[in-house]
Amino acid sequence: MNLFFTKQLKNMELYSLPIAAFFVLISTSVFNIFIILTLIIGIFRIVYEKDYNNKISKKFMLYGILIFIFLVLSSYYTIGDFENVIITLKKYVKLLYIPILFYYIKFYQNQIIIIKFLISGSMIILLLSYLQFFSILDFSLINKFVGFDLFRTMDKASVFQTSIIHGVVFSLISYITMYLAIKLSKGYIINPSYSIFNKSKFYFIYSLLCFCNVIFMNDSRNAYIICFLLILLLIIHFFRKKKHAVTTVSLFLVFSLSISEISETVFLKTIKEGYDDIALLKNNGDFSSSIGLRSIWAINGVNNITEKPLFGSGVGSYKSTIKNFIENKDVKVDKSLAISNNPHNEYVSMSTQLGMFGLSLYLLFIYSLFRETKRNFLAIGVFIITFVSSIFNSIFYDNVLGLFLVLSISLFYQKFFSEKIQYD
């Protein structure tokens, strides 16, 4: 009996993070629960193994911890109210998760299991996404019922998550599966016990399905940029190899088709909407459109730096600054949309809260992610997503997107992916 429980406990430890990865797009609550469970297991392992040395093994871990510490310290001078201070600290505490999750993955060596569970969970959502897009199923009523039909965040392709998160996750999965397809075609073995995951054709097809879903169906400018950059990275990396010439040409053709005049895609519609937003902003001075809101948030961010350049206005202060800015400048905008603690730009968020000091720390965090991508092709993809998403979103203020990036950084920056390996 004791042996049975011991075995089940080990399985729980081994599969806690893979299960979290499985539910990234399916259920936010389950995703959060298993992330917390993994953190508890990771902390327990560190204490039990008495392995306290070199837990901050990467520089980006140190910068993430410093950012959170200074956010806490800035609560002594912040102009933000108590509620926004607490909410913001709860959002950015996920920066502390990276070294713990990194250690957990390194200890249990379950990288391949995590990837398989991530891909398996995404299959369910990808299928539902295609069914919804072609009006075979409709999840909008369910989303409205549970109060998740947020302003301009759900579209016909996204199911249980926003179009931004949907696009980012499937962009990375498309990138990963194309990489695995090419590696499998060269003779690498993933795991004989999962036959479907050993077929390079499966990964090629699945990567293409994810790519088409992001570009042709999903409405997210952030995801378009990320997906194109990742595809370009794959083309550059494998172009020199003749055996991958067909794949390279195919990817290039898909890329060209998605931006051509004959393509009636969500991508082109989004570009048109962007031009319309700019025209509305230019002619009427109305900042209530998507681009208008991001513009006013960015302008206010620059204003915040000029007013408090060194250490900023403190944690959770952005909502107060944008409210004052709109009232003082008499900006034409829908205040219910514009007054928010989230400027949808991590650089603006950091510079407002911690000034140039905090912005420098965050830039060092980003730079160290880039430096650690050496000989690690999958980590380059994670860096691109983090860098680009930081321009369009306050990524660590966002719960699911932030946790997904924390998971991705902890997973793909392992030395495991920097070496030439034959799995199992």
For residue 260, what is the DSSP state? S
Quick one: 326 and 254 in the same domain? no
Alpha-carbon distances of 396 from 23, 162, 180, 349, rounded to whole Å:
19, 16, 28, 10
pLDDT at 166 (0 to 100)? 93
Residue 402: partners with Cβ closer than 8 Å, 6 or more residues away: 91, 94, 395, 396
- Three-state secondary structure readout of 295-307: HHHHHHHHHHHHH
The phi and psi torsions of 313 (rounded to 5 degrees) equal: -100, 0
Tokens for 282, please give them: 């230019």
- The domain tally of the chain equals 3
Residue 34 and residue 104 in one domain: no
Identify the pLDDT of residue 78: 95
> 94 and 168: one domain?
no
The pair of structure tokens assigned to 250 is: 């195919």
Distances (CA, A) of 333 to 259, 328, 393: 32, 13, 20
Residues 242 and 169 in one domain: yes
How many residues appear in the chain?
424
Res 329: pLDDT: 78
With beta carbons less than 8 A apart as the criterion, state whether 391 and 347 touch: yes
Query: Do 151 and 69 fall within a single domain?
Result: no
Indicate if 171 and 211 belong to the same structural domain.
yes
Rg (CA), the chain: 22
pLDDT tens-place values along the chain, 424 residues long: 455 555 666 778 899 999 999 999 999 999 999 999 999 999 998 888 777 677 788 999 999 999 999 999 999 999 999 999 999 999 999 999 999 999 999 999 999 999 999 999 999 999 999 988 887 877 666 555 555 544 444 567 788 888 889 999 999 999 999 888 887 776 665 454 444 456 778 888 999 999 889 988 888 888 888 988 888 887 777 665 555 555 555 555 555 555 544 445 555 555 555 444 454 444 555 556 677 788 888 889 999 999 999 999 999 999 999 999 888 877 777 777 888 899 999 999 999 999 999 999 999 999 999 999 888 889 999 999 999 999 989 999 999 999 999 999 999 999 888 755 444 3
Task: Give the Cα separation of 96 and 240 in Å (integer).
Answer: 40
- Residue 315: name the closest of 71, 68, 63 by CA: 71
Residue where a domain terminates, one of 281, 298, 318 = 281
Among 224, 254, 281, identify where a domain stops: 281
| Residues 223 and 168 sit within 8 Å (Cβ to Cβ) | yes
Q: Provide the pLDDT for residue 195.
A: 47
Which residue range is the domain that position 198 belongs to?
Answer: 111-281
Q: Residue 239 and residue 384: Cα distance in Å, rounded?
A: 20
**pLDDT of 339:** 87
One domain, residues 383 and 238 = no
260, 364: one domain = no
Both structure tokens of 315: 């944690």
C-alpha closest to that of 102 among 67, 64, 48: 64
